[in-house]
Chains A and B, each alone.
Chain A
Amino acid sequence: MKSFTVTANRTADGAVVYLRDDRQWTADIASALVRTDPAAMTDLLAWARAQQRDVCDPYPLEVQVREGAPAPVGTRERIRAAGPDATLRSLGYAS
């Protein structure tokens, strides 16, 4: 069974966020919740999509679980998870 979490962009500033087990949004993918059960994911997505005031366009995201913590798969999600500071550093901006 594949492992998934839920991700979105925060309404206030567009920042990438992931859903935690306590239903808070976090910028840290390693502390995101992980589900392998489609029924559980369906419920979570419905819940996340109802949080439209706080976040924009939540979607289910496949993750790899390494040493108990979820990690992104593929370049795009690696860049998203690494956050804007990593982007700025890689582009030559001190941040």
Chain B
Amino acid sequence: MYRYDEHDRALVHQRAAQFREQVRRRLEGDITEDEFKPLRLQNGLYMQLHAYMLRIAVPYGLLSSRQMRQLAHIARTFDRGYGHLTTRQNVQFNWPKLEDVPAILDALAEVEMHAIQTSGNCIRNITSDPFAGVARDEVADPRPYCELLRQWSTFHPEFAFLPRKFKIAVTGAAHDRAAIAYHDIGLRLVRGERGEVGVQVLVGGGMGRTPRVGQVCRDYLPQEHLLSYCEAILRVYNRFGRRDNKFKARIKILVEALGIEQFAARVEAEWAQIKDTALRLDGGELERLASYFVPPDYATDLPGEEALEAPRLMDPDFRRWHDHNVVPHKAPGYSAVAVSVKATGMPPGDVTDAQMDAMAYLADRYSFGRLVVTHRQNLVLPDVPTRDLHALWQSLRELGFGASNYEQLTDIVACPGLDYCNLANARSLSVAKAIEQRFTDAIRLAEVGRLTLNISGCINACGHHHVGHIGILGINKRGEEYYQLMVGGSHEDDASLGAAVGRAFAHDDIAGAVETVVDTYLAQRAGPDEPFLAFIRRVGLEPLQEALYAGE
């Protein structure tokens, strides 16, 4: 993975030292909260309902075991013994004391981490495919491109005060696992006519209160122009994006106002001015970055799936996990493992210090010391020898991470909601728990099949409720929590936004409503081969409305 050079190292240490001074001045009363707020937000420090929250950047979700151990250390020493994996592949701590934050930033800097680009109206942490570098359907490894974009965007002076936050995702695979259609810029690596790698550029996607699916801005961009073209998009946005109304400030609103042709034309005009400047990538920069992401030393003599014959036969729980949570790997004899940290009794995405340490150990033992945070709030061990899967699963089970529910109903994505968040209308985590408790039977879950469920505690959509096959949105009715139920969303190649089924449900009724939806699906699907999403697209909302609101 990428290793800091002297410049990177100096930068994060300097930043931590600066913030130490700013915190001291705040605690001594030399600066007010109004003065301090922009400074703390530039360092990922938010104020939640009961405490500060520190959001730590995990570029494209990739962590070394050493970094994971440091996160465990921070959770144990400075927080309440756990951290939270977010849908932007980052990590959050929910209970830091202000005076401890500088020490936390120092501890992060020691392992080449920081909290820059995790807040504010700048280009945020770049996200990617959690199976980057190992997926079989990969055209090219997206991580060198992510790293290039990270270096270009960090402290980019022109883009420090954009109209609003800006999110970029990159996928290098045929099948999009990075939700590129829901980002301000979505990049897909593709092959050009002569087999060279180029980029398809989407623009204007996003969630929040006005969800939009991104549109193609340029179908094929030679890769040497990646930075100049992104810079052109950012310039057009920076210049024409609305600054008068926070709710209309995202690039998706500009793209919609101009129309994609007009928008793309302005980008092309801007790009023509800068495409052959220093931003052009022909100095071997991509190759240099790619050298940080060369595949590990894979053994070439490992057995394949045949090594699992006996455990699969004799241990049905393992077989189910292997069927659902293990993804084919491009190196023979290896597998990529999606570790579900859900349905442990803890809130979705929460991982304790002991679990972090143990995952670091398992990464060292089985996966070349690397882990990936996914945008569905799980962890991936990317490079596990297939013959070790049974042993690994047994260890995961001891940690509470043995569930075979990857991308099933209890693999719930949820924002922190009203248990933590200042902006929330309603709790998300208690709803996640109530739903989990109704679906504890792994066999029933397997029967339901692939079904994503996403919960947000307010319209900001941090839990991506618009793109869950089932989405739940917390709303406020006269000071009480209510929940809008949505179905039919997808964040993949067939991206679509969920539609509201009908009247909202009270807190204690929403889990039951989800069960009714699932039961209706099971009773009326064309057969076990018709997944939930296909079923919804075929039958529409009516059968669900009948089941949910009968007799009203």
Residues of A that sit less than 8 Å from B by CB: 9, 11-16, 52-53, 56-57, 73-76, 79-80, 83-84, 87-88, 90-93, 95
Interface residues as binary, B10-38 with A (CB distance below 8 Å gives 1, 0 otherwise)? 00000000000000001111001100000
Interface window among B49-57, B160-168, B312-320, B511-519: B49-57
Given contacts A75-B479, A76-B424, contact A84 B50 (CB under 8 A): yes
Kindly identify which residue among A74, A80, A87, A88 contacts B479, using a CB–CB cutoff of 8 Å.
A74
Cβ A13 vs Cβ B52 within 8 A: yes
Cβ A92 vs Cβ B346 within 8 A: yes
Interface window among B94-102, B262-270, B459-467: B94-102
Cβ A56 vs Cβ B95 within 8 A: no
Least distance between B48 CB and chain A CB atoms (Å): 7
Least distance between B110 CB and chain A CB atoms (Å): 24
Distance between Cα atoms of A92 and B343 in the complex (Å): 12
Distance between Cα atoms of A73 and B476 in the complex (Å): 13
Cβ A87 vs Cβ B52 within 8 A: no
Distance between Cα atoms of A72 and B397 in the complex (Å): 42
Distance between Cα atoms of A92 and B95 in the complex (Å): 16
- B218 on interface, CB distance cutoff 8 Å: no
Cβ B479 vs Cβ A11 within 8 A: no
Least distance between A3 CB and chain B CB atoms (Å): 16
Cβ B47 vs Cβ A14 within 8 A: yes
Kindly identify which residue among A13, A93, A95 contacts B97, using a CB–CB cutoff of 8 Å.
A13
Cβ B420 vs Cβ A87 within 8 A: yes
Least distance between B329 CB and chain A CB atoms (Å): 34
Given contacts A75-B480, A91-B419, contact A52 B429 (CB under 8 A): no
Distance between Cα atoms of A32 and B29 in the complex (Å): 24
Residues of B within 8 A of A15 (CB): 50-51
Distance between Cα atoms of A84 and B95 in the complex (Å): 9
Residues of A within 8 A of B480 (CB): 74-75
Residues of A within 8 A of B47 (CB): 9, 14, 56-57
| Nearest 4 Cβ contacts at the A-B interface | A53-B29, A74-B479, A14-B51, A56-B33
- 19 residue pairs bridging A and B, Cβ less than 8 Å apart: A9-B47, A11-B27, A11-B98, A12-B27, A13-B51, A14-B50, A16-B50, A53-B28, A56-B47, A57-B47, A75-B481, A79-B49, A79-B418, A79-B427, A84-B50, A87-B420, A92-B345, A92-B347, A93-B80
Least distance between A87 CB and chain B CB atoms (Å): 5
- B82 on interface, CB distance cutoff 8 Å: yes
Least distance between B350 CB and chain A CB atoms (Å): 8
Cβ A80 vs Cβ B49 within 8 A: yes
Cβ A90 vs Cβ B48 within 8 A: no
Q: Across the two chains, which residue of chain A brings its CB closest to B481?
A: A75
- B433 on interface, CB distance cutoff 8 Å: yes
Q: Across the two chains, which residue of chain A brings its CB closest to B352?
A: A93
Given contacts A52-B33, A84-B50, contact A12 B419 (CB under 8 A): no
Distance between Cα atoms of A12 and B27 in the complex (Å): 7
Distance between Cα atoms of A4 and B26 in the complex (Å): 29
Residues of A within 8 A of B426 (CB): 75
Count the B residues whose beta carbon is within 8 Å of the partner chain — how many?
Answer: 34
Cβ A73 vs Cβ B479 within 8 A: yes
Interface residues as binary, B461-485 with A (CB distance below 8 Å gives 1, 0 otherwise)? 0000000000000000001110000
- B430 on interface, CB distance cutoff 8 Å: yes
Kindly identify which residue among A11, A52, A87, A90 contacts B50, using a CB–CB cutoff of 8 Å.
A87
Residues of A within 8 A of B26 (CB): 11
Given contacts A53-B29, A90-B419, contact A14 B52 (CB under 8 A): yes
Least distance between A14 CB and chain B CB atoms (Å): 4
What 11 new A-B contacts, CB under 8 Å, besides A15-B50, A88-B80, A91-B350?
A: A12-B97, A12-B99, A14-B47, A53-B28, A56-B33, A74-B479, A76-B49, A79-B427, A91-B347, A91-B419, A92-B346
Cβ A76 vs Cβ B346 within 8 A: no
Distance between Cα atoms of A92 and B28 in the complex (Å): 36
Least distance between A15 CB and chain B CB atoms (Å): 6
Q: Across the two chains, which residue of chain B brings its CB closest to A75?
A: B481
Distance between Cα atoms of A57 and B34 in the complex (Å): 8
Residues of B within 8 A of A73 (CB): 479
Least distance between A41 CB and chain B CB atoms (Å): 21
Residues of B within 8 A of A56 (CB): 33, 47
Residues of B within 8 A of A80 (CB): 49-50
Distance between Cα atoms of A80 and B420 in the complex (Å): 9
Distance between Cα atoms of A57 and B47 in the complex (Å): 10
Least distance between B458 CB and chain A CB atoms (Å): 11
Cβ B424 vs Cβ A14 within 8 A: no
Residues of A within 8 A of B350 (CB): 91
Cβ B50 vs Cβ A12 within 8 A: no
Least distance between A26 CB and chain B CB atoms (Å): 15
Distance between Cα atoms of A40 and B328 in the complex (Å): 68
Most buried by A among B98, B350, B433, B480: B98
Distance between Cα atoms of A87 and B350 in the complex (Å): 14
Residues of A within 8 A of B52 (CB): 13-14
Distance between Cα atoms of A56 and B98 in the complex (Å): 12
Q: Across the two chains, which residue of chain B brings its CB closest to A13?
A: B97
Least distance between B322 CB and chain A CB atoms (Å): 28
